[in-house]
Amino acid sequence: MPTLFDPLTAGALTLKNRIWMAPLTRARAGESRIPNDLMATYYSQRASAGLMISEATAISRIGYGWKNAPGIYTEAQEKAWARVTKSVHEAGGQMVLQLWHMGRLSHPDFLDGQLPVSASAIAAEGVARSLEGNKPYVTPHALTKDEIQSTIDDYQKAAIRAIAAGFDGVEIHGANGYLIDQFLRDGSNTRSDEYGGPIAHRVRFLLEVVEAVTAAIGPERTGLRLSPMNGYQNMHDSNLEALFTHAAKELNKHDLAFLHVRETASQPLLVTPLMRKIYDGVMVGNDAYDFARAQKVLDDGLLDAVAFGVPFIANPDLVERFRSGAPLNTARPESFYKGAVEGYTDYPFMGKAA
C-alpha cells in the first residue's frame, strides 16, 4: 500500500504526494471579490501539498454569499487568479479551483436585495453571516427549469475561466449544504419535477453540472467534493447510504480526476467505505485526520489520498513536518475568516522564528 509521500496520478494530474490541502475559505479577497498578491503568497507557501484545492470561489453573482470571498465570474477575477496560479506553479505546486454556488445559504444583502436560490423554497435554519452581521436565513426562490439550465451554464463558464486562469483543474463543490447538496437531499429538495423526488431525480442536477463542466474542460481535470454526513450546515437526508452510493455509481460513468469525500474521521467512517466499494476512481478523504489516521486509511485501501484543512492553515510546510515528525503549529481560529497577514501568511515554517 502507498504511503502519504508516494506520488499519485489523478486524471491528468500527476501529484508528488497524497497530502492534499482541503478547500479553505479565508476571506482575504476584499469587497472587490478579486484575488490579490497576499493570496498568491499564502497559496505559494503551501505549494508542497500534493494538490491544493482553492477556497470556495463563487461561480456567479447569485451564487455569492460570503464576505470577502473571491469569485470566478468576471474577467478581472480570472486575470487576478492567473497571478495566483503563476506563483503557485513557480513554487512547484499544483492547484484546482473549487467552484461554489451557495444557494440558500447566501443572503439578499450579498445579492442586491434579490432572494437566494435553491432546489425548493425551504429556508435553512439558523443565521447567515450577512454583510451587516448575522441575519436569519431567508426562504429562497426555487429555481425554475430554465434557471437550472442557466445555473449549469454558470458552472461551465466558471470552469472555463478557471482553466484560462491557469488552474490545473477544478473541484465542483457538491458538499457542505450548498446548492448542489441542497438538490441532493430530501431535507431541502421537495420538488415534484425530474430534479426532485426519488434519489435518481435528486442527483440529476449534480450529474448535469458534472456533464457540463467535464464537456468543457475534460473529466481528467474535474474533481468533485461530497459530504455524506447529516447535521452539518442544516443538511439532512433520510437515507445517506442510498443517496451517496447511488451518486458514486452514476459518477463512475464520468471518469473524474478524483472524488473528494468529507466524512469525519473522529468517528468510524460509515458512508465512505460503501462508496469506495462502488466507486472506481481516485478517492480522497477529509475531516479530522492526523498523520497516523491518514496513513491508516491508505494502508487499509480505503482512500488514495487525504486532504487536510486546519493543519494546513497553521502549517505551510505540513508535508515536511509529517515527513520529519516535527511538531505542528497551533491554528488561530480568530483569524480564519478575517484579517490580512495575521493568521494567514505569518505561520512559521520549521526552523524559522514566527
Ligand X SMILES: Cc1cc2nc3c(=O)[nH]c(=O)nc-3n(C[C@H](O)[C@H](O)[C@H](O)COP(=O)(O)O)c2cc1C
Catalytic residue (choose from 64, 137, 178, 289) = 178
Residue of 126, 124, 210 lying closest to 174 (CA atoms): 210
Please tell me the distance from the alpha carbon of residue 189 to that of residue 199, in angstroms, as a whole number: 10
Nearer to ligand X among residue 142 and residue 257 (C-beta): 257
| Residue number with CB closer to ligand X (142 or 315) | 315
Closest distance to ligand X from the beta carbon of 315 (Å): 11
Nearer to ligand X, 141 or 338 (CB): 338
Contact indicator for 17, 6 with CB cutoff of 8 Å: yes
Cβ at position 213, least distance to ligand X in Å = 16
**Phi, psi at residue 222, to the nearest 5°?**
-115, 125
Q: How far is the CB of 259 from ligand X (least distance, A)?
A: 14
Interacting residues toward ligand X by CB under 6 A: 22-25, 55-56, 98, 173, 175-176, 225, 262, 286-289, 308-311, 336
Indicate the residue among 171 and 196 with the shorter CB distance to ligand X.
Answer: 171
Quick check: is 137 catalytic? no
Q: Cell 445559504: give the residue.
A: 105
Q: Whose CA is closest to 99, among 48, 164, 174, 165? A: 174
Residues 6+ apart with CB under 8 A from 326: 320, 350
Residues 20/289, Cβ–Cβ less than 8 Å: no
Measuring CA to CA, which residue among 67, 201, 185 is closest to residue 134?
67
Find the residue with minimal CB distance to ligand X: 309
The least distance separating ligand X from the CB of residue 174, rounded to whole angstroms, comes to 9
- Report, as residue numbers or ranges, the catalytic residues: 178
